[in-house]
Amino acid sequence: MNQNQWLPGEIFNEHNINASLTGFYLFFCQPLRHCSRNAVGVQTASDASINGDREEHDLCNWDELKFSLIPTDYMYVMKCSSGEGAFSQGHLTRYGNVELSPSSGVLNYGQGLLEGLKAYRGDDNRIRLFRPEQNALRMQMGAERMCMPSPTAEQFVGSIKQTALANKRWVPPPGKGSLYIRPLLLGTGAILGVAPSPEYTFLAYASPVGNYFTGSMHFSVEDKVYRAIPGGTGGIKSITNYSPIYKAVTQAKAKGFTDVIFLDAATGKNIEEATACNIFVAKGNVISTPPIAGTILPGITRKTIIEVASWLGYQIEERAIPLEELMNADEAFCTGTAIAIKPVGSVTYQGQRVEYKTGEGTLSETLFRTLTGIQTGRIEDTMGWIVEID
């Protein structure tokens, strides 16, 4: 059997999350994987129900944790019909498949948003969320753009707290990773014409994760495919933003690069961001990053690093950055929930490769230690960014 092939599907049943819509038969194309009891990724929600009393350190090998899906115990669900205008009281349910109509808005027209945030276990064993209200506000902004109702900030943060608390045994030990929480806002109502969905589902699930990338990042510059266009959805976390750039990223990775830096579609001269992270350029005491102007995602880590770097005495500039300026920088680094802060080791454009300072003593290392120190409780939070859930 090939590594990737179509596997027989199943009829969704009452044990799945029911979106009050007709189920349909699916075939899944996925790699076949073999797991052993102590390998990362083997424990599922059904395993957890059998071994409910297992200690956190027995769940998997935390030292080998990657940024890949490990099903946990619970997810959070709440719904909204278009006529209601507000989301109903949500609830926790066992992690499992979601039933959708084949004519749902998200499947046919991509009416959906995603978010991403993490729960961290500190040295004191307390579990902390980092600025979850910012994710709530960003989802509301995206929902307005996509003609969708959105949970209130209170509902959003409450759902994240409950999801993290219900899966707290999956929060890795200090220094071993974090619990990544993925909220989704989906048009799940049945619709045939091009129009907003008549029903919406908010869902949040979680997975323990390690580093998204290891070491520094090595970029190629993409000058033929654009991630976002003026007036498009580049400034929100629409689910439609990602798959159109898979080809460019896959081709870059096949050549040994970590990721791709995309240029602006208007001029093709200025850097914007990578696949799923914002970029910063440092020269002397000045740190520059592209401005939020509709084509760049307003990253929460980006926002935090601008504030932290300002505290540390750096001059911060949000402005258009020509590619040539990146190629002549002292240092470059990327920010995002998944990667936190990662140094850029090199950038290659049209055969020209430029390398940057990385490692101890660099700006990115200082900012990384400061950010993660606040997130895990090693550095006092004086800004009210931390939400403790237990």
Give the DSSP letter string of 172-220.
PPTTS-EEEEEEEEEE-SB--SSS--SEEEEEEEEEEE--SS-S-EEEE
- Tell me the CA distances in angstroms from 63 to 35, 169, 270, one per residue in order: 16, 16, 39
Query: Of the candidates 312, 326, 315, 242, which has an alpha carbon nearest to the alpha carbon of residue 285?
Result: 315
Q: In the annotation, is 303 catalytic? A: no
- Tell me the CA distances in angstroms from 141 to 176, 179, 352, one per residue in order: 33, 25, 39
Residue 325 class from Cβ within 10 Å (0-12 exposed, 13-18 middle, 19+ buried)? Answer: middle
User: In the structure, how many helices (H) and strands (E) does the chain have?
Assistant: 8, 19
Q: Which residues pair with 117 in a beta bridge?
A: 181
Segment 324-329 long-range contacts (CB within 8 Å, at least 24 positions apart): 325/281, 325/283, 325/288, 326/261, 326/271, 326/279, 326/281, 327/352, 327/354, 328/283, 328/354, 329/281, 329/282, 329/283, 329/356
Give the pair of three-digit tokens for residue 214.
Answer: 């290891």
Residue type, 91: H
Among residues 237, 255, 269, 357, the one annotated as catalytic is: 237
Cα dihedral 377/383/389/390 (nearest 10): 50
Catalytic residues: 237
